[in-house]
Structure 1
Amino acid sequence: MLEKSINIERKLEETLEKLGSIKTIDKFNNEKKIEVKDNYWPQYLAVFTAALSYYNRGLHSAWTSPALPKLLTNGTEIDSYFPISSTEGSWIVVSYSASISVGAPLAAYLIHSIGRKNTILLTAFPTLLAFLLIAFAPSIECFYVARILAGISEGLANIALPVYVGEVAQAKIRGFLGSITAIFLTLGLLSVNVIGSYTTIFQTSMILSIFPILLIGTFYWMPESPYYLMMKNDINSAEQSLIKLRGTKMVQEELKLIQVTVEKQMANEGTFKALFCVRSNRRALLLALAMETVLQLSGIQAILAYTQIIFIESGEQITSEMSSILLMIIQLIASISATNFVDKLGRKPLLMISCAGCGIALMFEGLYFYLQYIGYDCLHSFSWVPLSALILYIIVYSMGLAIIINILLGEIFAANVKGKAIGINTILYGILAFFVSKLFQIMTDHVGMFVPFWIYGIFSLSAVVYIYYCVPETKGKTLDEIVEWFEKS
């Protein structure tokens, strides 16, 4: 095994010496007087269609925002299927979050057995079934089952999509394409708030059932990850995949680099023991878990699930429906704007700005509800605070935390442990999302809405220090260079 590893290392060094790095392929061709024009559109198309899985995730993540106010009307409106309590409403929220942890280990297995592409396609089926169950639900138990199915689908997408994007995109545009997935997620959040606010629960579910079908109909035609095909020792298919993704037949040098990189990474067994005992794997996993904790304890799951409830409780003068839609539109604009910065400013500065901004916004939101709690007439002097603070929160969240962490998940792990590592990370995501969402309901009902906002705010501000000292900058680096950083630093 040691001799094999040494031979692979030598082979990698020879290849890298010839190429310098993947970033020098253009230079290599220029020296031969061959004009090569970058063609990114095949990669855009592959990622755009794959990102429909995140669009579907957004639909389910924020479904409760317009649905809960209707369900909590105790059956007085036509749209209410049956009366539910606030506690039952919270279980509708957290059953989704908790089941994400079920989909995660399944996805970690599937992306290695059936591939990244097929796992992404698979997410469409529980998503579709969940919408149909909601549409025809005769009891609240059907809502619970639907939400569990939707959570499993998210667990699959959370692993498969970052891995796919990280492996099909060139280093030059990997950050941009990673941020595209966040835009599709935000589009899903916006869509369900718009559609759900002005249609019945049945109508909303039937309309949204179209999108998992659209995922199958478009992404089915896209190529599989060349890294996955190389892991399966299918060199010819890996080459054809790379030709389709790069829009050129001149992929031999990059194919060689992928082959040597995969051989190097696969030389060590991709076991859970290797994940924890190999220094680079262990350090990457600890970073991923820490950043997932930062993301979830910023309170995003609770805010998305209870957006309209928050505005109703604040006494906001414009309707809760309009406030939530405005918030999602601003999130979409911020997510699109972030694509211009992620490969220019880098991952680390955006993360620090994002956490600091989230912390400040959440502290002000908590202050408003505290003043309301002690009886101060907030509507007279500070009616603008709830919406303004959440707008600030959504802007800075969308330009940092929402996109960078998914990009990092696709970048920092070696191919042989990537599925297992992101699976563990997604299990933590589900647990934390459950905790954060349940905490919001318990604290709001028994103390006051200011408490969860202050808890989320303090944690977001504290995360800035961790990011400054512990998070590496991966902008412009190849996947092999990133793994080497974890090995050597």
Structure 2
Amino acid sequence: MDNQTKKNQNENSQLSTSRKSDTLFLYISVITAHLISMASGASMVWTSPVLGKLYLNDTEVNPIGRPITTIEVSMLAGIPTFTNIVGILFMPKLSDIFGRKRFLLYSGLVMLLASVGLAFSNSVILMIITRCIFGFPGTWTVSCLYAAEVSEDHNRGKFGCYFGIFNQLGHLFGFMIGPFLSVKYFTLIITSPLLIFLVIFMMMPETPIHLLVKGREDECKIALKKLRSNKSDEEIETDFDKLKENQRKHKEHAGKITDLVKKRESILAVILGLIPLLNKYCSGVTVIFTFLAPFFDQTGTSLSGDIMAIIIAVFKITFFVLTSLIVERFGRRKMLLISSTGTAIPLFLLGIYFYLHSINSSLIAYLQWIPLTCLIFTVCFFGLGLGPIPQALISELPSANLRAVSSSLIHSTGSVASSTLTFLYPLVSESLGNHWCVWWFSMNCVIGAILMYFFLPETKGKSFDEIQEILRNYAKK
């Protein structure tokens, strides 16, 4: 009994000494890695300020020299999203070979070169090709893996939300400068985060987990000391032993996609990761942001779509940041439920407005405030969970040996949904009306909330091993 008491005391002592405030270097590492996510975010909303110029018949403003057609709009917005499927399936696995850091550096360089090509494109085909490369497929999944693997159990949820924050900062960056610059200069300027990333990230460490997987134990300890410089050598050694023990448990598995079907908890991790991610995309918020300025122009209000896009993006970023600060207190599951339910309500009301607008109702004159108000509430609730949290869950639900391949499978499935919705939205909106699109998005949020309420476990404060134990218990039921 005395030995057991001493063991418990030692474990409690290790826990109390290991859980310390996050170091500045850790913040810099995660923030720098997500500068590439910021550039990806800017490339995602590139269509919003640019489409208005491509619809013009003015060769000085429109680089393709003629008004763009609806099917070309669908292709320009949808095809680059679709190419993410190929990248997401292979890029995280390549990061297992080359390392998270080296892969991200190569990706940043490729994105920079592609953005220059996009800036000087003068045809829709060239724009599609260079946009596909500019949003270098799969890169953001690796930046999420990097953030998860340099973090600890107590701050992994917070840093997991940083992808969403920087992705939204990229949106805001694009919305702020896009309306006031030519297509060429706008495209060149939104690549500036990549330049900063390439310079600073070279000085950041590889993730300790990847170094340990590759057998580079000394480099792993050095990386831990840099990332957790406020810890003593004994605490660093304890953290290293914990990582090594986790690695020992998973070393016998190669982490192939076929391994996912060998254990029920692995399949369950994929399914549970898919539920919030598909809910995120099927909520329509990411689709609306791709076409935000044209979308708002269709409301028939006197407000400028470009200006409203900036206002809405500011609210969205604010709530992404808020989520990163409170997610470890309230938990992933609770915030996702609040987010999904809350997002459904303003979308439903916005659908009513679009319906009244489509039938030229006299009530529209008294309801001009609804579009902006509903979109603000939509992005605020979206930012409380659906926006930032799915990426964090996808990085922590699978076991370590299957994390990359599971992430690839989940995100590629999400990209199928995202690209399909992005491609179809302009066509369906034109043929059936915006109100049916928005009502369908609202219904998806309700369905997603129901599924998450009954099936999604809470992972707040849990170690990777504890999460696997939860999944094993779920799989037995």
Q: TM-score, normalised by structure 1?
A: 0.91
**SS of the residue 2:351 aligns to:** helix
Instruction: Mark the CA change 1:381 to 1:486 in structure 2 (over 3 Å): closer, same or farther.
Output: same
TM alignment of 1:340-359, pairs within 5 A: 340-359=325-344
Shift of 1:125: 2.5
CA distance in 2, matches of 1:111, 1:210: 24
Choose 475-484 or 448-457, whichever is displaced more.
475-484
Aligned to 2:374: 389
Shift of 1:70: 0.9
Instruction: Mark the CA change 1:356 to 1:24 in structure 2 (over 3 Å): closer, same or farther.
Output: farther
Deviations 1:410-429 (A, max 9, x none): 21111111111111112112
Aligned to 1:3: none
Q: Say whether residues 1:199 and 2:181 are aligned partners.
A: yes
TM alignment of 1:1-400, pairs within 5 A: 25-27=14-16, 38-75=21-58, 78-83=61-66, 84-151=68-135, 153-157=136-140, 159-247=141-229, 248=231, 249-250=233-234, 251-400=236-385
CA distance in 2, matches of 1:149, 1:136: 14
2:416 paired residue among 431, 437, 440:
431
CA distance in 1, matches of 2:8, 2:54: 64
Deviations 1:228-276 (A, max 9, x none): 1111121111111111110143400110010010110222331222112
**SS of the residue 2:461 aligns to:** coil
Instruction: Mark the CA change 1:315 to 1:255 in structure 2 (over 3 Å): closer, same or farther.
Output: same
CA distance in 2, matches of 1:348, 1:37: 25
Specify the code of the residue in structure 1 equivalent to 2:381.
V
Deviations 1:307-346 (A, max 9, x none): 0111111112121111111011111111122222111111
TM alignment of 1:410-489, pairs within 5 A: 410-489=395-474
Q: TM-score, normalised by structure 2?
A: 0.93
Specify the code of the residue in structure 2 equivalent to 1:45.
I
1:407 paired residue among 363, 387, 392:
392
Structure 2 unaligned spans of 5+: none
Shift of 1:134: 1.9
Instruction: Mark the CA change 1:276 to 1:74 in structure 2 (over 3 Å): closer, same or farther.
Output: farther
Shift of 1:98: 0.5
Specify the code of the residue in structure 1 equivalent to 2:450.
V
CA distance in 2, matches of 1:286, 1:138: 42
Instruction: Mark the CA change 1:227 to 1:91 in structure 2 (over 3 Å): closer, same or farther.
Output: same
Deviations 1:439-467 (A, max 9, x none): 21121111111111111110101111111
CA distance in 1, matches of 2:366, 2:58: 35
Specify the code of the residue in structure 2 equivalent to 1:405.
P
Choose 342-351 or 142-151, whichever is displaced more.
142-151
CA distance in 1, matches of 2:275, 2:384: 19
Deviations 1:343-399 (A, max 9, x none): 111101110011011111111111111111122135411111111111111001111
Shift of 1:18: 7.3
Equivalent residue pairs, number: 466
Instruction: Mark the CA change 1:20 to 1:474 in structure 2 (over 3 Å): closer, same or farther.
Output: farther
**SS of the residue 2:83 aligns to:** helix
Deviations 1:186-213 (A, max 9, x none): 1100000111011111110121222212
CA distance in 1, matches of 2:397, 2:238: 23
**SS of the residue 1:112 aligns to:** helix
Shift of 1:77: 5.7
CA contact (8 A) 2:70 2:427 kept: no
Specify the code of the residue in structure 2 equivalent to 1:211.
P
Deviations 1:63-103 (A, max 9, x none): 11101111112336634442211221121100111111121
**SS of the residue 2:155 aligns to:** helix
CA contact (8 A) 2:91 2:137 kept: no
Instruction: Mark the CA change 1:473 to 1:201 in structure 2 (over 3 Å): closer, same or farther.
Output: same
**SS of the residue 2:121 aligns to:** coil
CA distance in 1, matches of 2:150, 2:219: 14
Instruction: Mark the CA change 1:244 to 1:450 in structure 2 (over 3 Å): closer, same or farther.
Output: same
Instruction: Mark the CA change 1:341 to 1:82 in structure 2 (over 3 Å): closer, same or farther.
Output: same
Specify the code of the residue in structure 2 equivalent to 1:218.
I
**SS of the residue 1:416 aligns to:** helix
Shift of 1:127: 2.0
CA contact (8 A) 1:47 1:177 kept: yes
CA RMSD of aligned residues (A): 2.0
Specify the code of the residue in structure 2 equivalent to 1:311.
F
CA contact (8 A) 1:292 1:428 kept: no
Instruction: Mark the CA change 1:379 to 1:200 in structure 2 (over 3 Å): closer, same or farther.
Output: farther
**SS of the residue 1:340 aligns to:** helix
CA distance in 2, matches of 1:246, 1:210: 30
Instruction: Mark the CA change 1:218 to 1:397 in structure 2 (over 3 Å): closer, same or farther.
Output: same
